[in-house]
Amino acid sequence: MFAVIRTGGKQYRVAAEDVIKVEKVKGDPGEIVQFGEVLVVGGDDVTLGVPTIAGASVAAEVLEQGRGAKVIAFKKRRRKNSRRKRGHRQEFTLLRVTEILTDGAKPTVTARPKPEPKPKPVVTEPDDGEPAESTAPKAKAAKKPAAKKADKKADKKPAKKADKKPDKKTDKPKSGGKGKKK
């Protein structure tokens, strides 16, 4: 089953479990939003709205509220010393369509509860004075002495080549234009 909805001045063809990016819609991540402007409901039989279908709606879960990439609007008028540079980032909402409802039905899926942050492990010291093992990653093995590294670098570098002396320059003017004739 699919539906065509209108939001933000645009139309979207959606089906259950589709993820769509629409103009900003009010709602926090995890909430369920409903779209009442359903233009077409299709599947086995297609229902067209005039202009919308009465009692039909689409329920979607808000996944993310964000802003798109920056768009630069630069205007310049030649020879007038006039220019204008303006940037814009369009806000959007990322949605997952949960279900398509008809006949005035209410959404059955409720908003998912927000996940609680996991508590950080606490490092405690036992009574005998030695620190307890922590859950932090262990340090890497000790590094090799610097002398060995220097030897390896010396082996890899080839001997320097003798510098070539540049040829004598011909008498040409230093500027790119015409020079004095001799």
The Cα 51–Cα 39 span in angstroms is: 6
Q: For residues 174 and 172, what is the distance between their CA atoms, to the nearest angstrom?
A: 6
Tell me how far apart the terminal alpha carbons of the chain are, to the nearest angstrom. 90
pTM of the model: 0.57
Render each residue's pLDDT in the chain as its tens digit; 182 residues.
999 999 999 999 999 999 999 999 999 999 999 999 999 999 889 999 999 999 999 999 999 999 999 999 999 999 999 999 999 999 999 999 999 998 888 888 776 666 677 787 777 766 666 655 555 555 555 555 555 555 555 566 566 666 666 666 666 666 655 656 65
